[in-house]
């Protein structure tokens, strides 16, 4: 009895100290960190960014820090989430750094105490509060939009859909490709935002349009560029932009209702097997160099104010976007997937 | 007394007690236990999960949930339509070709047989992706040609449809039926046909009234294999059915593992596949058992070849057309896609690119590991599997020990377990102590070993029947033990059968996806899984490069195995 009454003030005190240190000291890339990371020699990165982008980032990191190998594990964000769950429940701790196009995953990881606080210097100094976790568990590594796009050989600009509502026109029946929210975090996020803003009636009608169902948000731009379908109802802005820059016949449409905004956080796992390499890689991802690569290599968008916009691109501030709400996606994810499956049959 | 000396003591005592009892009893016991564990453990866990709820309480709820949910009953119905169609299509196409090869003077018969074998090497999921490149309704190469020729707005083919799926699966199950029927035709003794001839029947009449009825069991067996293949494949429906907006049972089972995973439903959904398979195998045994065509297998003169006359060339063209569907067209499509900026791009200089090849060999960090894992698993499983199958088929063919029939049953039983079902079962069984194998290559090895054992066993059992026991008896009279005899006398005599079994397992492992997709982790990815992953993000160029290299390696290894063993082209597919 006495012990207990003694312990609780101590616990309270410790908690207080804990709160005082909740935002951990920012870390920078020091020679010590590099040396320790080199001793580990490898870092496993579970990512949902397009595999070609991921491999280029990995190569840039490996060139900068020779002796540290980046193992890229790329799949859809929902798949990665499922796999980490599956591996962790079997006590397999392979993943060091994880990112997701479904910000709700980080709500889950944080709640389940799977992350450790790591605050890269750049995040501490430059990132707006909306783009970082107050406890330093994660930060917005990349920003993406889900957009509409069309094949310029099959559709004239004046006939192209301007809004989500336009896609419900019978003339698009059999001509639309879209990705799947059970695979892609981008699509789960966009399905949430669209259903919130336009209502599920939109999807009920879209499901009548004989759509081609692919999995990854990377894929609809591929299918449109190849001419397999004339229009995509959702998919990555950056892949469409990359294909356009390679002279593929694809044009992006920012829907009138607003483009779903997909903030993709990253974080370091608490049980990361390569603690130092994980911190080094994670910190590097948020440097101006790492963030600028997102723009230059991938045509993604960044929350780092220090990066230079690629010439000729519409800046995020001029695009009407939907509001993101990771906490709500976390609550509704299962329901959204189930409802989607009922409507679209797969 | 330490544990070690105790063990030695027990060992010595055992040896004293059993004296001259040969060690094959121990081998039998060990093999039986291994097989029971191999099959019993995953199936047991499947049954347990299927019959419990999330809290672990016994329930039929999972079955009720599935039976009343159209999201499961519709895929089940689709799967049945798919299986029946594939079985009928494969048997209808393969049987006449087998007859042309085995019984007529069709030109280039040997080459065609070899090509049929080559289409067996092609993984069905790779074939499905190649057919996406060929026959996607708008960007598919064949549809573009068709539009160019006819200026029709509608596609000639739509691969993303149930008929498309049936077509692609039938393409890659036809070789099974072909091989079974062709081998059966090879073995029909000429006497029976001669008898018909003596009684005044014409060649055609003999073919229709004698030859064909004699191979009906082989056709049925082939159709059954085609049915089971269609039911258990995961890759092809995942690649072709999901874009079209429908599921089959296997893709549905896979989707039960999406977060939050529902292993109970997955296990319950797997059982109908198991039940259908067992029912079909039992039915087959009944049908064949009653008809009892034991004439097949006698040794007599060469089979009579029917002269095709003026139909020789048309028949050859027809056969080559059929062969182009699983082989020439898809391979050409893969080669083209591997150097084209996008798969359907016109074949011009400006669209030629090294990008995909560079990506696969320079940038893609998965390539090396996936090739390595695949090779290690394929060689390991093939070697272990052949040894296991050799021991089992020896024990059963020679009835060396009591209980060998039970062994025979166990070694054939995995035929009834579809890959994805086994994958679910193994996942449930080996993600917990004491055997937490998930995350290692071992769990994949176990899966592949179980899946491939029946084929290797069938192959070696029939080889054993061809070797007369008197050679073994001679060796044993001269003082060699059973195992030594097996190693020194029997195995060399069985060389071609052993090499064939090894190659079967090797090929089978390389093309396996349905169990691997359930069991891989970041460090244990195999090629099939990597290719499937790439397909989900539509990276067809990279797939084309990886797939082509994968095929080349498979052909090289199979060729090498035949060459070092001196078997040459003697390896012939046996049904299983």
Phi, psi of A45 (to 5 degrees): -115, 115
pLDDT-derived band at B570 (thresholds 50, 70, 90) equals very low
Q: Pick the last residue of a domain from B344, B370, B403.
A: B344
Q: Is any Cβ of chain A less than 8 angstroms from the Cβ of B359?
A: yes
Q: Is any Cβ of chain A less than 8 angstroms from the Cβ of B69?
A: no
Mutation pick from A212, A239, A271 vs chain B, by most beta carbons of B within 10 Å, is: A212
Contact status, residue A94 vs residue A86, Cβ threshold 8 Å: no
Range A166-174, long-range pairs (CB < 8 A, 24+ positions): A167/A206, A167/A209, A167/A231, A167/A233, A168/A202, A168/A205, A168/A206, A168/A209, A172/A209, A172/A230, A172/A231, A173/A208, A173/A209, A173/A210, A174/A209, A174/A210
Question: Chain A residues with CB inside 8 Å of B261's CB?
Answer: 82, 85-86
Residue where the block lists tokens 């083209």: B336
Q: How many CB atoms lie within 10 A of CB B191?
A: 12
B294 shares a domain with B263? yes
Residues A71-102 have pLDDT tens digits of 999 999 999 999 999 899 888 999 999 999 99
Q: Is any Cβ of chain A less than 8 angstroms from the Cβ of B353?
A: no
By residue range, what is the domain housing residue B158?
Answer: 60-344
Provide the chain B residues 469-528 that lie in CB contact (below 8 A) with chain A.
521-523
pLDDT at A10: 52
Alpha-carbon torsion (B59, B65, B67, B73), positive or negative: negative
Distance from CA of A26 to the nearest CA of B (A): 30
Contact status, residue B182 vs residue B238, Cβ threshold 8 Å: no
Please tell me which residue, B448 or B287, carries the higher pLDDT value.
B448
Q: Is any Cβ of chain A less than 8 angstroms from the Cβ of B244?
A: yes
Contact B439 A90 (CB under 8 A): yes
pLDDT-derived band at B24 (thresholds 50, 70, 90) equals low
B487 shares a domain with B457? yes
Contact A216 B538 (CB under 8 A): yes
B477 shares a domain with B423? yes
Question: Chain B residues with CB inside 8 Å of A215's CB?
Answer: 242, 536-537
Q: Is any Cβ of chain A less than 8 angstroms from the Cβ of B227?
A: no
The DSSP call for residue A260 is: P
Nearest Cβ partner for A82 among B261, B431, B539: B261
Question: Chain A residues with CB inside 8 Å of B359's CB?
Answer: 52, 55
B164 shares a domain with B223? yes
B290 shares a domain with B215? yes
Contact A92 B439 (CB under 8 A): yes
B462 shares a domain with B498? yes
Weakest-pLDDT range from A164-178, B66-80, B298-312, B441-455: B298-312
Q: Pick the last residue of a domain from B315, B344, B373.
A: B344
Question: Chain B residues with CB inside 8 Å of A71's CB?
Answer: 365, 522
Does residue A50 have a pLDDT over 90? Answer: yes
Q: In this structure, is residue B574 part of a structural domain? A: yes
Residues B88/B90/B94/B96 CA torsion (nearest 10 deg): 30
B503 shares a domain with B531? yes
Question: Chain B residues with CB inside 8 Å of A87's CB?
Answer: 439, 521-522
Residues A273-301 have pLDDT tens digits of 999 999 999 999 999 999 999 999 999 99
pLDDT-derived band at B572 (thresholds 50, 70, 90) equals very low
Nearest Cβ partner for B365 among A58, A95, A218: A58
Q: In this structure, is residue B416 part of a structural domain? A: yes
Number of domains in chain B: 2
Helices B24-50 and B366-397 pack at an angle, to 10 degrees, of 120
Domains and CATH numbers, chain A: 25-142+263-307 (3.40.190.10), 147-259+320-344 (3.40.190.10)
Q: In this structure, is residue B7 part of a structural domain? A: no
Q: In this structure, is residue B38 part of a structural domain? A: yes
Average pLDDT, integer, range B548-552 = 94
Percent of chain B whose predicted confidence (pLDDT) is above 70: 90
B222 shares a domain with B149? yes
Provide the chain B residues 303-342 that lie in CB contact (below 8 A) with chain A.
341-342
pLDDT at A100: 98
Q: Is any Cβ of chain B less than 8 angstroms from the Cβ of A5?
A: no
Weakest-pLDDT range from A7-11, A334-338, B230-234, B538-542: A7-11
Q: Is any Cβ of chain B less than 8 angstroms from the Cβ of A235?
A: no
Q: In this structure, is residue B8 part of a structural domain? A: no
Helices B24-50 and B419-429 pack at an angle, to 10 degrees, of 90
Average pLDDT, integer, range B257-272 = 87
pLDDT-derived band at B22 (thresholds 50, 70, 90) equals low
Q: What is the ipTM of this complex?
A: 0.89
pLDDT-derived band at B284 (thresholds 50, 70, 90) equals confident
B75 shares a domain with B43? no
Question: Chain B residues with CB inside 8 Å of A56's CB?
Answer: 363
Average pLDDT, integer, range A193-210 = 97
Q: In this structure, is residue B116 part of a structural domain? A: yes
pLDDT at B21: 57
Contact status, residue A187 vs residue A181, Cβ threshold 8 Å: yes
Provide the chain A residues 258-287 that lie in CB contact (below 8 A) with chain B.
none
Nearest Cβ partner for B139 among A70, A182, A228: A228
B165 shares a domain with B140? yes
Helix (H) or strand (E) holding B260: none
B46 shares a domain with B80? no
Q: In this structure, is residue B207 part of a structural domain? A: yes
How many alpha carbons lie under 13 Å from residue B36 in its C-beta half-sphere?
8
- From the number of C-beta atoms within 10 Å of its C-beta (0-12, 13-18, 19+), residue B572 rates as middle
Residue where the block lists tokens 């975090």: A185
CATH of the domain at B395: 1.10.3720.10
Helix (H) or strand (E) holding A149: strand A148-151
Q: How many beta-carbon contacts under 8 Å exist across A and B? A: 128
Mean pLDDT of chain A: 93
pLDDT at B566: 67
Q: In this structure, is residue B272 part of a structural domain? A: yes
B271 shares a domain with B417? no
Q: Pick the last residue of a domain from B344, B379, B414.
A: B344
Nearest CA in chain A to B432: A90
Percent of chain B whose predicted confidence (pLDDT) is above 90: 47
> What Rg value do the Cα atoms of chain B yield, rounded?
25
Q: Is any Cβ of chain B less than 8 angstroms from the Cβ of A83?
A: yes
pTM to 2 decimals? 0.89
Residues B169-197 have pLDDT tens digits of 999 999 989 988 988 888 777 777 788 88
Please tell me which residue, B26 or B560, carries the higher pLDDT value.
B560
């Amino acid at each position: 009895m006495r012990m207990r009454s003694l312990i609780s003030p101590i616990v309270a005190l410790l908690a207080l100290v804990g709160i005082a240190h909740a935002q951990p000291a920012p870390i920078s890339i020091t020679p010590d960190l590099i040396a320790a990371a080199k001793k580990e020699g490898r870092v496993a990165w579970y990512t949902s960014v397009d595999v070609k982008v991921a491999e280029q980032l990995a190569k840039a990191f490996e060139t900068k820090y020779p002796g540290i190998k980046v193992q890229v594990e790329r799949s859809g964000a929902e798949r990665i989430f499922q796999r980490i769950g599956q591996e962790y429940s079997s006590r397999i701790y392979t993943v060091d750094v994880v990112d997701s196009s479904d910000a709700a995953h980080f709500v889950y990881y944080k709640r389940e105490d799977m992350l450790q606080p790591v605050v890269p210097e750049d995040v501490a100094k430059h990132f707006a509060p909306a783009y970082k976790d107050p406890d330093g568990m994660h930060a917005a590594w990349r920003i993406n939009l889900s957009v509409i796009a069309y094949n310029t050989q099959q559709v004239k600009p004046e006939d192209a859909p301007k809004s989500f509502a336009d896609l419900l026109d019978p003339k698009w029946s059999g001509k639309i490709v879209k990705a799947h929210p059970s695979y892609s975090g981008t699509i789960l996020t966009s399905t949430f935002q669209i259903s919130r803003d336009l209502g599920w009636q939109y999807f009920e009608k879209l499901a009548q349009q004989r759509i081609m169902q692919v999995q990854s948000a990377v894929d609809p731009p591929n299918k449109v560029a190849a001419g397999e379908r004339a229009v995509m109802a959702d998919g990555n802005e950056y892949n469409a932009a990359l294909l356009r820059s390679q002279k593929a016949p694809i044009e992006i449409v920012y829907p009138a209702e607003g483009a779903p905004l997909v903030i993709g956080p990253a974080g370091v796992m608490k049980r990361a097997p390569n603690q130092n390499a994980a911190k080094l890689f994670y910190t590097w991802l948020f440097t101006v160099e790492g963030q600028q690569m997102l723009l230059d290599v991938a045509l993604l968008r960044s929350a780092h104010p220090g990066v230079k916009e690629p010439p000729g691109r519409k800046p995020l501030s001029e695009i009407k976007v939907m509001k993101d709400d990771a906490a709500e996606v976390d609550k509704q994810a299962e329901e959204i997937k189930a409802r989607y499956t009922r409507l679209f049959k797969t | 007394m330490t544990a070690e000396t105790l063990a030695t003591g027990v060992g010595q005592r055992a040896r004293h007690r059993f004296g001259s009892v040969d060690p094959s009893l121990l081998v039998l016991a060990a093999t039986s236990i291994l097989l029971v564990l191999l099959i019993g453990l995953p199936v047991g866990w499947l049954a347990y999960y299927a019959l419990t709820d999330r809290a672990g309480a016994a329930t039929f709820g999972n079955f009720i949930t599935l039976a009343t949910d159209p999201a499961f009953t519709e895929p089940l119905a689709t799967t049945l339509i798919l299986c029946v169609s594939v079985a009928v299509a494969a048997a209808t196409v393969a049987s006449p070709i087998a007859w042309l090869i085995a019984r007529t003077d069709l030109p280039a018969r040997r080459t065609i047989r070899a090509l049929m074998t080559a289409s067996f090497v092609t993984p069905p999921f790779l074939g499905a992706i190649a057919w996406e490149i060929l026959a996607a309704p708008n960007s598919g190469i064949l549809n573009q040609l068709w539009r160019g020729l006819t200026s029709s707005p509608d596609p000639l083919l739509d691969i993303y449809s149930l008929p498309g799926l049936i077509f692609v699966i039938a393409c890659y199950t036809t070789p099974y039926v072909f091989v079974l029927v062709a081998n059966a035709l090879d073995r029909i003794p000429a006497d029976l046909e001669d008898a018909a001839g003596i009684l005044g029947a014409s060649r055609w009449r003999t073919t229709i009234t004698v030859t064909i009825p004699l191979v009906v069991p082989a056709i049925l067996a082939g159709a059954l294999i085609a049915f089971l293949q269609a039911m258990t494949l995961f890759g092809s429906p995942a690649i072709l059915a999901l874009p079209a907006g429908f599921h089959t049972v296997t893709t549905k089972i896979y989707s039960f593992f999406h977060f939050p995973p529902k292993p109970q439903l997955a296990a319950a959904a797997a059982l109908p596949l198991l039940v259908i398979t067992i029912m079909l195998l039992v039915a087959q045994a009944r049908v064949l058992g009653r008809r009892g065509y034991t004439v097949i297998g006698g040794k007599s003169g060469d089979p009579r070849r029917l002269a095709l006359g003026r139909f020789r060339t048309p028949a050859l063209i027809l056969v080559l057309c059929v062969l182009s569907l699983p082989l020439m067209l898809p391979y050409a499509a893969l080669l083209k896609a591997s150097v084209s900026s996008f798969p359907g791009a016109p074949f011009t200089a400006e669209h030629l690119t090294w990008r995909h090849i560079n990506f696969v060999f320079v940038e893609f960090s998965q390539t090396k590991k996936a090739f390595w894992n695949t090779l290690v698993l394929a060689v390991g499983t093939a070697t272990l599997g052949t040894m296991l199958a050799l021991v089992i088929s020896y024990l059963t063919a020679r009835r060396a020990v009591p209980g060998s029939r039970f062994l025979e049953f166990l070694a054939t039983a995995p035929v009834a377990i579809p890959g994805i079902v086994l994958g679910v079962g193994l996942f449930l069984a080996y993600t917990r102590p004491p055997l937490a194998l998930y995350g290692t290559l071992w769990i994949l090895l176990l899966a592949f070993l179980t899946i491939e054992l029946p084929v290797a066993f069938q192959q070696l059992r029939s080889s054993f029947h061809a070797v007369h026991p008197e050679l073994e008896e001679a060796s044993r009279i001269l003082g060699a033990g059973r195992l030594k005899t097996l190693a020194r006398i029997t195995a060399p005599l069985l060389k071609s059968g052993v090499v064939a079994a090894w190659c079967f397992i090797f090929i089978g492992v390389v093309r396996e996806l349905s169990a691997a997709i359930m069991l891989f982790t970041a460090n244990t990815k195999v090629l099939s899984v990597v290719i499937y992953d790439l397909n989900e993000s539509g990276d067809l160029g990279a797939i084309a490069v990886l797939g082509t290299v994968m095929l080349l390696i498979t052909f090289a290894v199979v060729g090498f195995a035949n060459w070092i063993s001196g078997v040459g082209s003697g390896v012939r597919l046996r049904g299983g």
